[in-house]
């Protein structure tokens, strides 16, 4: 099964990962070919195997993407109850994580709907001085287009999940 057929399941894993950790890992490649991983909390997925993230505080990631747009986004559900349930039952109730492979577009001004989406997700934090300093001035995004995925696997506890996915 391909990315499109699994997209709803992938979005569920990504959503749970964001709730449990507050961020994602985005991997890029620098000019020497070395990997670089950046934590980014403002990634949003759309319905069509694409997404975007707010390109703020990510200078090295931005420089890498300007030279080579390939990315890998990883989301992992690290919720205590999710893992406790899996450990007690010996079986994951859902996929524990996913890696999404694709490319990032050029930096562009955020659209009003994108700005509203990030404001909704950080609204409680904006009541604090630190929240306003960190998340009060987002202006630019990069679009993400995903072409492939790989689940995070623990085969002995998830043989019933991701059937038909290599």
Domain residue limits at 27? 3-150
The answer to the question of residue 162 being in a domain is no
Instruction: At 24, list the tokens.
Output: 């994602």
Average pLDDT on 53-73 reads 95
Q: What tens digit of pLDDT does each residue of 8-53 get?
A: 999 999 999 999 998 999 999 999 999 999 999 999 999 999 999 9
Is residue 129 assigned to a domain?
yes
Flag whether pLDDT at 136 surpasses 90: no
- Give a yes or no: residue 156 inside a domain: no
User: What pLDDT, on the 0 to 100 scale, is given for residue 28?
Assistant: 97
Question: Which residues touch 152 (CB under 8 Å, ≥6 apart)?
Answer: 74, 76, 95, 96, 97, 98, 99
| pLDDT value at residue 68 | 96
Tell whether 165 is covered by a domain. no
Residue 159 counted as domain residue: no
Q: Which residues of 79-112 are buried (b: 16+ CB within 10 A; e: fewer)?
A: eeebeeebeeeeebeebbbbbbebebeeeeebee
Q: What is the pTM of this model?
A: 0.91
Q: Is residue 130 part of a domain?
A: yes
In a domain, 82, yes or no: yes
Instruction: Give domain status of residue 30, yes or no.
Output: yes
Q: Is the pLDDT of residue 162 over 90?
A: no
Residue 57: its H or E element: none
Q: Which of 55-59, 121-125, 150-154 has the weakest average pLDDT? A: 121-125
**Is residue 163 scored above 80 in pLDDT?**
no
Q: How many domains does the chain have?
A: 1
Closest residue by Cα to residue 76 from 58, 100, 53: 100
**CATH at residue 34:** 2.30.110.10
What is the sign, positive or negative, of the torsion defined by CA atoms of 137, 142, 146, 149? negative
pLDDT band, residue 4 (cuts 50/70/90)? very high
């Amino acid at each position: 099964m391909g990315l499109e057929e699994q997209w709803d399941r992938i979005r569920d894993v990504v959503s749970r990962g964001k709730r449990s950790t507050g961020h994602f890992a985005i991997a890029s490649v620098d000019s020497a070919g070395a990997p670089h991983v950046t934590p980014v909390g403002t990634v949003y997925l759309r319905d069509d195997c694409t997404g975007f993230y707010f390109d703020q505080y990510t200078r090295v990631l931005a420089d890498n993407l300007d030279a080579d747009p390939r990315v890998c986004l990883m989301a992992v559900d690290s919720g205590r109850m999710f893992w406790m349930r899996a450990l007690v039952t010996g079986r994951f109730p859902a996929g524990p994580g996913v890696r999404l492979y694709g490319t990032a577009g050029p930096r562009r001004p955020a659209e009003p709907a994108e700005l509203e989406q990030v404001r909704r997700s950080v609204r409680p934090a904006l009541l604090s001085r630190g929240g306003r300093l960190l998340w009060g001035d987002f202006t630019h995004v990069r679009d993400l287009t995903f072409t492939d995925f790989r689940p995070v696997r623990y085969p002995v506890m998830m043989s019933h999940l991701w059937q038909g996915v290599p």
